[in-house]
């Protein structure tokens, strides 16, 4: 198995622009329903090549490009909030269909056609807790079709996700595809994470590919049983044994094409990662971490997990920083060469599967763009 993605796809600015224009039309995971529960709750996310605001209008979720149709101000700033959708520049307000509902000094505008002054609408659909958006398309593929067999898995996960115990963003000076590929194999664990992941994953796991509808890919890694050394860790492990999701001897990784990954580590933690490519050689990783729901949890156990999750958050951040450093190093290496084929071992076949899915997707959806 050799490299399928050309090296210039990691470094070339023109290619990067055309790549994002192609990825733009896919369904993108954007937020969780819990982020948008109340009327007027909103979140702002960066997706592929633009900012999208998602807002709850009396229980209905709408999504729009974050640009005012009046004179193009970015309407929302910040990550999230609650309030009516009003552009702060001249106070135009907007309804659930994106049409202006209030225009100060309305009389001063000639030929005001509110239909033509709608916000740029995106389609919104949900799968369990997961909120997805894509640019509005009359006859595009539906979310259930896009997710295929992943739908039931995401619904099960939605029911199993309890409190969010941490969130952090990492700036990585590497192409997003290198960042994704780094998550799809375990062979680097002992060289890149010798004191973190390598120390807790005692033997090299084998990976079983999860049967996912292309272009998504995923695997399960069989881990050695947890060996808690201290009494407190034994008590925590006993609580996690009652989690309603995961397997104490497994790490599951689902890569939702193109820019999302979900990791379920043993029965301990569920991570959702969103990749935001900002240039050919820069990616922001937005990581959110959740505790699994535990059957019949007591208040004492809950407090114990809250304290332990601080340790897990520190661990996840350190792991992320180690991966950031190696991805930045690979980016430097990639920038030095053109045309080399590379090679993948058996433990790296999911990386190859991602590359194949990426190439197929680009071929099918580039609509004449030279990629």
- Asked if residue 348 binds Fe ion (CB under 5 A), the reply is no
**Interacting positions 307-366 with ligand FES (CB under 6 A):** none
Three-state DSSP at 164 gives strand
Residue 118 near ligand FES by CB under 6 A: no
Contact residue for ligand FES among 60, 71, 332, 340 (CB under 6 A): 71
Choosing among ligand FES, Fe ion, none, which partner's interface includes residue 73 (Cβ < 5 to 8 Å by kind)? Answer: ligand FES
Our finding on whether 24 is near ligand FES (CB under 6 A) is no
68 lines the binding site for ligand FES (CB under 6 A): yes
Minimum distance between the CB of residue 85 and ligand FES, rounded to whole angstroms? 11
The distance of closest approach from Cβ of residue 93 to ligand FES in the complex, given in angstroms and rounded to an integer, is 9
Tokens of 230: 């201290």
When CB distances are held under 5 to 8 angstroms depending on the partner's kind, the choice from ligand FES, Fe ion, none that residue 318 binds is none
Residue 87 binds what, of ligand FES, Fe ion, none (CB under 5 to 8 Å, by partner type)?
ligand FES
Give me the least distance between CB of 91 and ligand FES, in Å please. Answer: 6
Tokens of 180: 């994704």
35 vs 323, beta carbon nearer Fe ion: 323
**At closest approach, how far in Å is the CB of 323 from Fe ion?**
4
Distance CA 313, CA 47 (A): 25
* Cβ 82 vs Cβ 41: under 8 Å: yes
Give the span between the Cα atoms of 203 and 205, in whole angstroms. 6
Q: Which of ligand FES, Fe ion, none does 44 bind, CB closer than 5 to 8 A by kind?
A: none
| Of residues 313-332, those binding Fe ion (CB under 5 A) | 323
The 268-307 contact track toward Fe ion, x by CB under 5 A, reads ----------------------------------------
Task: Indicate whether 70 belongs to the interface with ligand FES (CB under 6 A).
Answer: yes
CB of 69 to ligand FES, least distance (A): 8
319 contacts 187 by C-beta, under 8 angstroms: no
Q: Answer yes or no: are the C-beta atoms of 264 and 158 closer than 8 Å.
A: no
Other beta carbons within 10 angstroms of residue 152's beta carbon come to 12
Write the DSSP symbol of residue 21.
Answer: H
Which of the ranges 76-84, 88-96, 285-293, 363-371 carries the binding residues for ligand FES, by CB under 6 A?
Answer: 88-96
Largest CA distance in the chain: 75
Which one of ligand FES, Fe ion, none is in contact with 129 (Cβ closer than 5 to 8 A by kind)?
A: none
> Can you tell me the distance from the alpha carbon of 50 to that of 28, in angstroms, rounded to the nearest whole number?
12
Distance of CA 18 to the CA centre of its chain: 21
In the three-class reduction of DSSP (H, G, I as helix; E, B as strand; rest coil), residue 286 is classed as strand
Distance CA 55, CA 61 (A): 6
Q: Which does 323 bind (CB under 5 to 8 A by kind): Fe ion, ligand FES, none?
A: Fe ion
CA distance 369 to 371: 6
State how far the Cα of 276 lies from the Cα of 260, in Å rounded to an integer.
9
By beta-carbon proximity to ligand FES, the closer residue of 93 and 206 is: 93
DSSP class of 9: G
The Cα 126–Cα 130 span in angstroms is: 6
List the one residue from 10, 29, 42, 92 that touches ligand FES (CB under 6 A).
92
Contact predicate 242/294, CB 8 Å: yes
89 binds, among ligand FES, Fe ion, none (CB under 5 to 8 A by kind): ligand FES
Residues 6+ apart with CB under 8 A from 355: 3, 4, 5, 181
Q: CB of 87: closest distance to ligand FES in angstroms? A: 3
To Fe ion, the closest distance from the beta carbon of 317 in angstroms equals 13
Cα separations (Å) of 359 from 3, 6, 117, 341, 350?
11, 10, 37, 15, 14
Residue 109 interacts with ligand FES (CB under 6 A)?
no
Residues in contact with Fe ion by CB under 5 A are 323
Site of interaction with ligand FES (CB under 6 A): 68, 70-71, 73, 87, 89-90, 92
């Amino acid at each position: 198995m050799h490299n399928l993605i050309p090296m210039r796809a990691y470094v070339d600015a023109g290619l990067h622009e055309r790549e994002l224009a192609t990825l733009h039309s896919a369904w993108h995971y954007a937020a969780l329903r819990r982020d948008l529960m109340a009327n007027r709750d909103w979140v702002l996310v960066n997706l592929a090549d633009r900012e999208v605001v998602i807002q709850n209008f009396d229980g209905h979720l709408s999504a729009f490009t974050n640009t005012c149709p009046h004179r193009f101000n970015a309407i929302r700033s910040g990550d999230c909030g609650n309030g009516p959708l009003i552009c702060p520049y001249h106070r135009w307000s907007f309804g659930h269909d994106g049409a202006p509902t209030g225009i100060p000094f309305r009389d001063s505008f000639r030929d005001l056609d509110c239909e033509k002054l709608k916000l740029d609408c995106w389609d919104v659909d949900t799968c369990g807790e997961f909120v997805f958006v894509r640019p509005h398309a009359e006859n595009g593929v539906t979310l259930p079709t896009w997710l295929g067999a992943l739908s039931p898995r995401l619904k099960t996960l939605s029911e199993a996700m309890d409190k969010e115990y941490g969130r952090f963003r990492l700036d990585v000076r590497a192409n997003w595809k290198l960042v994704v590929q780094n998550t799809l194999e375990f062979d680097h664990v002992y060289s890149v994470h010798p004191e973190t992941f390598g120390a807790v994953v005692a033997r090299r796991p084998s990976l079983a590919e999860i049967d996912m509808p292309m272009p998504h890919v995923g695997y399960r890694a069989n881990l050695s049983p947890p060996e808690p050394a201290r009494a407190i860790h034994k008590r925590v492990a006993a609580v996690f044994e009652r989690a309603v999701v995961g397997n104490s001897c497994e790490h599951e990784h689902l890569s939702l094409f193109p820019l999302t990954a979900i990791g379920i580590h043993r029965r301990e933690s569920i991570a959702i990662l969103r990749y935001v490519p900002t240039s050919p050689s820069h990616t922001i990783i937005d990581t959110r971490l959740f505790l699994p729901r535990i059957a019949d949890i007591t208040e004492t156990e809950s407090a114990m997990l809250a304290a332990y999750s601080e340790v897990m958050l520190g661990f996840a951040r350190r792991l992320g920083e180690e991966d950031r450093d190696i991805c930045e190093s690979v980016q430097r290496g990639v920038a030095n060469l053109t045309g080399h084929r590379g090679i993948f071992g058996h433990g790296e076949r999911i990386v190859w599967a991602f590359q194949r899915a990426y190439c197929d997707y680009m071929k099918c959806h580039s609509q004449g763009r030279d990629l």
